[in-house]
Structure 1
Amino acid sequence: VLDTGAPYLVMEHLEGEDLQSIVDRGPLAFDRATRYIAAACEVLGEAHALGIVHRDIKPSNLFVARGDRLVVLDFGLAKLIDLASSVTHDGVVLGSPRYMAPEQIRGARDVGPRADLWSLGATLYHLVTGRPPFPGTTIESVFSEILDGPIPALPDGPLAHVISRALARDPALRFATAREFALALRTRPAELDVRFEILELLGEGSHGTVYRARHRNGGREVALKVLRGDAQQIRSRFAREAAIVQRLDHPNTVRIYESGVTSDSTPFMVFELVRGRTLAVELQRGAMLPARLARVATQVCKALEEAHARGIVHRDITPSNILLVDYAGDADFVKLLDFGVAADSEAPNLTFTGQTLGTPRYMAPEQVLGERVDGRADLYALGLVMAEALTGTPVFGGSSAIATCAAQVSPDPVPLPPAVTGGPFAAVIARATAKHRDHRFSNAAEMLAAIERGPADRPFAAPNVERRSRTYVVPVLVAFIALLGITIVLLAVRPWASDSRSSPSSSGTGKGLDEARLRARLAAIGWPPAEVTRDIWGRCNYMRTRHEAGVFDGHRREWAFVVLMMCDSDATAKSEAKRFQASYPGSWTIIDGDRVLLAYTTAPESGIADEAASKQLADALLEGAPPPPLATDAAALTAVGLDENHLQTRLVTLGWPPAEVTRQDLAGCRHTRLRLEAGTFQGISHKWGDVLLLECASQELASSEGQRLSRGFPNASITVTASKRLLMVTLEHRGSAKPFGEALLAP
């Protein structure tokens, strides 16, 4: 309130124009009109959930801001119209009355959310026809038409039934919610609705819509992508995307089950439904640790290696097209998405001369210039993605696409920030992002090998540098910490090739700094073992997990982590301890020979990192005696010959062959997953099933995995054998998992 007593509001400043101004120039295309109304549905749905009814939805209150972003105006300011003051004069255009629901006109006390949906229906009619649905010249005539007149002639096309339902005079006959209205706007051929139950709208672009759907025959949930629009080039590109993805079969590439065209010529694709978050979303939380980035980047390289070998260039490698999903215990399992602009050496080029496709800030110079590209353009983009992941900020953040493209084609080197040029992957990223394609990695396999070698202390392009051999002990696979509060980082041992360096196991035993002791101590102080991720940084191995909240010594800690580093020498350990302490003020570090324990947690209740609390945690972890070795859960199945062939044979014997097999090597265990479709076991029908076989490097590792999986999948049947192998079975009906697993283990 001002000093004068006058109330005021401070609101967002918007640049653009309202839909009334836009439609005054002529009707909108169906796709554009439905996109705006669907956006309004999203806003109104949130408002209705809060008990707010707008009561004044009309074209002039729907504003299109920069970036084609729809904004609903005058929220909370709408009021019942004073008819006495709304008498029109010659030349005055009617406002709200033309968009008032019948119950509003009647003065009903229970005007609810469906009145807003009626107004949206009237607005949609106006947008696609260029005229309001009730065009009376006076308020009285408009109200008469709304209450008693004939329903206006509906526009031809797929929106007729949507508008008809929205404009029903009886609120009970309209859409029940804004979400239901929005789903109806995503028009689909009837035959798709017959085959699929639409469960959720997952995303929408200018030319297509993606739904979470359930196949009515079999019950499998899928991602259903339906094309909108009639442009021949768009339809051709959509069909080519389907053909490209069907040729790919890598675990790190999203799988396609089916594609086709409906009887009314609407193209569609059916993909595997994968749940996760994109790398773009993940980077909103901050930069990635180098070792975690390495795990992500190597998987992208593997997916690209297959695509490039089959003549396919993705051309749009961005953080938004890299999906991180939780699969087989790996929270950063990669699925590469969206081959919609991919180039295919086996198909005609759909890009016209001078036309560029992709996202400017990740496009290689030759791609910006519209030249023919090969797989090295994808490696350039991946290099930029890696640099962005290490800093949390895009390398090319120009204010416009034109400025970004100009920077890409400039002969100057890519402006990598110091955090990248001074980091562990400086050489890899510098080579991948070389402006001239001949100076980059020649293929994805070469880039993959460079990333897997880990951090290098030599500059890019240094000639004839002798390489160390890469003998690694298989890292120990880890287990989830079920607590909600602490991060544990433990390290596998990596033998170093140089004979002049001491082995990490040759010293550092005074305090017993090893994984087994820390796991036992965590359990003793109330934190059971967690999932541990193993990384390599410089000349040290370490492992790390992180959790957001938990209780230690009777006090709540907002977050914490623990790092155990095993280095190639005492000097390296001291150097790394100093670096970590500088990076994490408030941490507490204990150096024991070539090993380093770093604890970092918060003061009780305050949530602020505190050195005293960190020391308390470190001391607690070092107390107590080393635990006994882990025992196996079962030891009588060594002779079964448990492997994929055995499982395949047993499944066929049981009348339930696997529908899909995927294989992945994860931190010391070979994962073979058999994903089962609908089947019957012991007279019980199951819509789905899952069989996971782990073949591990050690018995302790197999036992550790059994403990982890039992916590993560409490309804599964898990058997660890004496042959360093583990079998996990999950079925739709949980009681069948154990007998099904026993049947699979039978000779």
Structure 2
Amino acid sequence: MGEIFAGRYELIDPIGRGGVGAVWRAWDHRRRRYVAAKVLQQSDAHTLLRFVREQALRIDHPHVLAPASWAADDDKVLFTMDLVNGGSLAHLTGDYGPLPPRFVCVLLDQLLAGLTAVHAEGVVHRDIKPANILLEATGTGRPHLRLSDFGIAMRKGEPRLTEANYVVGTPGYFAPEQMLGAEPDFPADLFAVGLVALYLLTGIKPDAEELIGHFADHGIPNAPEDVPEPLWQVLASLVHPNPDCRFKTATGARKAVLAAVEMLPEPTVEEEIVEVFDHIGPLPAGYGPDGPPKTKGAAGE
């Protein structure tokens, strides 16, 4: 049996590393289900700050992966969330390279639906990137994504907890106004969504600085080679350097994506089928759908 944390969570095997700590597959003895548990050292003040931010969120939406519970034990804390085992969009693009436009539109629709729920709570995510967008292992069926990692999310108007000139987020997915120290706002998240979409369609991380420079010198660029024109019209609005020229809401962007899909060419028979497979792998010997081999006497039993 694995280590029992706080008398409730049985840590089974490591399944990844987040930006602030190890991520484990764990068994929740009280809820009798497998969960993902991010384990953090209490001694790290910055880590704890991110923990407090993530734990404060309670957004219930099928395309959002927010923390569900937390616990503390000795010098560590953990928080848990649903176990999502299909890897991230970074994994998917690493496996397949450029993804079919219609498949990307399904992902975009789901991402913008989740972001609509996040923004409805007044929360700006501030770190949307392929590695923070996870996938259920749906095989060759319809994909199902979950927007995760709210460690640096902020509610609009809340005081910043870092120096005003300290830029927070992932380089390469910053909106231009973020780099200039603007207050966090929803259009910055939409800029990052546009860059993620370009990454999925081209298989290459977009050069945001080059893109911004082209807008400044020549106006809206032509559609990249792998991006159909109707979809590019949507993405060009998302990645416009001027936030006033972007979509005002995730809902508006989502409607535009759905309209663009109607104008895309029908998929060809040669188009590769994308499979979202299990990235976590089987449970260790003795563990099954009902949990550890022996749970008698554990918390909640």
Q: TM-score range by the shorter chain?
A: 0.7 to 0.9
Change (3 A) 1:408 1:227: farther
Q: How has the CA–CA distance of structure 1 residues 271 and 441 changed in structure 2, closer, same or farther, with 3 Å as cutoff?
A: same
**Counterpart in 2 of 1:356?**
167
Shift in alpha-carbon separation, 1:544–1:314, aligned structure 2, 3 A: farther
1:208 matched residue in structure 2:
21
For residues 70 and 125 of structure 2, the distance between their equivalents in structure 1, rounded to whole angstroms, comes to 19
Contact in 2 for aligned 1:316/1:358 (Cα 8 Å): yes
Report SS of the residue matched to 1:276. coil
Once the two structures are TM-superposed, the CA of residue 292 in structure 1 deviates from its matched residue by 0.6
- 2:52 paired with 1:239: yes
1:280 counterpart = 2:84: no
Q: Is the CA contact 1:376–1:440 (under 8 Å) kept in the aligned structure 2?
A: yes
State the Cα distance separating 1:453 from its structure 2 match.
0.4
Task: Say whether 1:266 aligns with 2:38.
Answer: no
Following the alignment from structure 1 to structure 2, what is the Cα–Cα distance between the partners of residues 261 and 199?
A: 17
Is the aligned partner of 1:443 residue 2:249? yes
| Mapped pair 1:310 → 2:125 | no
1:220 Cα deviation (Å)?
A: 1.1
Aligned to 1:196: 9
Counterpart-to-counterpart distance in 2, 1:392 and 1:687: 39
Measure how far apart 1:227 and its partner are.
1.3
The letter for the 2-side match of 1:197 is: E
Equivalents in 1 of 2:258, 2:240: separation in Å? 20
The answer to whether structure 1 residue 453 and structure 2 residue 259 are counterparts is yes
Query: Using the alignment, how far apart are the partners of 2:66 and 2:176 within structure 1?
Result: 30
Question: Structure 2: how far apart are the matches of 1:234 and 1:379?
Answer: 26
RMSD of aligned alpha carbons: 3.1
Shift of 1:440: 0.1
Query: Is 1:335 paired with 2:146?
Result: yes
State the Cα distance separating 1:351 from its structure 2 match: 2.9
Aligned position for 1:386 = 197
Mark the CA change 1:446 to 1:260 in structure 2 (over 3 Å): closer, same or farther. same
- Per-residue CA deviations over 1:463-519 (Å, capped at 9, x if unaligned) read xxxxxxxxxxxxxxxxxxxxxxxxxxxxxxxxxxxxxxxxxxxxxxxxxxxxxxxxx
SS at match of 1:430: helix
Offset of 1:541 from its aligned partner? 7.6
SS of 1:361's equivalent in the other structure is coil
2:131 equivalent among 320, 332, 335: 320
Aligned residues of 2:5 and 2:11 also touching (Cα < 8 A): no
TM-score, normalised via structure 1 length: 0.34
Deviations along 1:139-178, one digit per CA (max 9) or x if unpaired, are xxxxxxxxxxxxxxxxxxxxxxxxxxxxxxxxxxxxxxxx
Q: 1:420, 1:426 within 8 Å by CA — same for their partners in 2?
A: no
Structure 1 position 217, deviation (Å) = 3.7
Distance 1:387 1:192, change over 3 A: same
| Residues 411-450 of structure 1 mapped to structure 2, 5 A cutoff | 411-412=216-217, 418-419=224-225, 423-450=229-256
In the superposition, the TM-score normalised over structure 2's length comes to 0.79
Tell me, yes or no, if the aligned pair for 1:233 and 1:350 is still in contact at 8 Å. Answer: no
Distance 1:224 1:439, change over 3 A: same
String of CA shifts for 1:543-594, please: whole Å, max 9, x gaps: 898569xxxxxxxxxxxxxxxxxxxxxxxxxxxxxxxxxxxxxxxxxxxxxx
Q: Which residue of 1 aligns with 2:281?
A: none
1:538 maps to 2:264: yes
Q: How many corresponding residue pairs? A: 273
Contact between 2:125 and 2:154, CA under 8 Å: does it hold in 1?
yes
**Alpha-carbon offset, residue 211 of structure 1:** 0.6
User: 1:268-300 CA deviation, whole Å, 9 max, x = no partner?
Assistant: 211111110211111122211111100000000
The 1:389–1:318 alpha-carbon spacing in structure 2 relative to 1, beyond 3 Å, is same
Cα distance between partner residues in 1 of 2:84 and 2:25:
10
Q: CA separation in 1, counterparts of 2:91 and 2:27?
A: 26
> Corresponding residue for 1:300?
111
Q: Distance in 1 between matches of 2:159 and 2:76?
A: 22
Gap change, CA 1:347 and 1:237, over 3 Å in 2: farther
Shift of the alpha carbon at 1:335? 0.8
CA distance in 2, matches of 1:432, 1:394: 16
In structure 2, C-alpha distance between the alignment counterparts of 1:367 and 1:543, rounded to whole Å: 43
> Does the Cα contact within 8 Å between 2:93 and 2:99 map onto a contact in 1?
yes
Residue type of the alignment partner of 1:275: N
Q: Following the alignment from structure 1 to structure 2, what is the Cα–Cα distance between the partners of residues 206 and 379?
A: 22
Separation of aligned partners in 1, 2:176 and 2:35: 37
Label 1:421 to 1:547 Cα distance change in 2 as closer, same or farther (>3 A): closer
Contact 2:6 2:72 in 1 (8 A): no
Change over 3 Å in CA distance of 1:441–1:261 after alignment to 2: same
Whether the aligned pair in 1 keeps the contact of 2:223 and 2:229 (CA below 8 Å) is no
Cα 1:394–1:541 shift into 2, 3 Å: closer
By relative contact order (CA 8 Å, sep 6+), the higher-ranking structure is: 2
- Structure 2 distance, partners of 1:408, 1:209, is 35
Distance 1:276 1:539, change over 3 A: closer
- Residue in 1 aligned with 2:183? 372
1:408 to 1:370, Cα distance in 2 relative to 1, 3 A: farther
List alignment gaps of at least 5 residues for structure 2: 275-288, 292-301
Distance in 2 separating the partners of 1:313 and 1:443: 12
Cα distance in 1, alignment partners of residues 55 and 23 from structure 2? 14
Deviation at 1:236, TM superposition (A): 2.1
SS in 2 for 1:277: coil
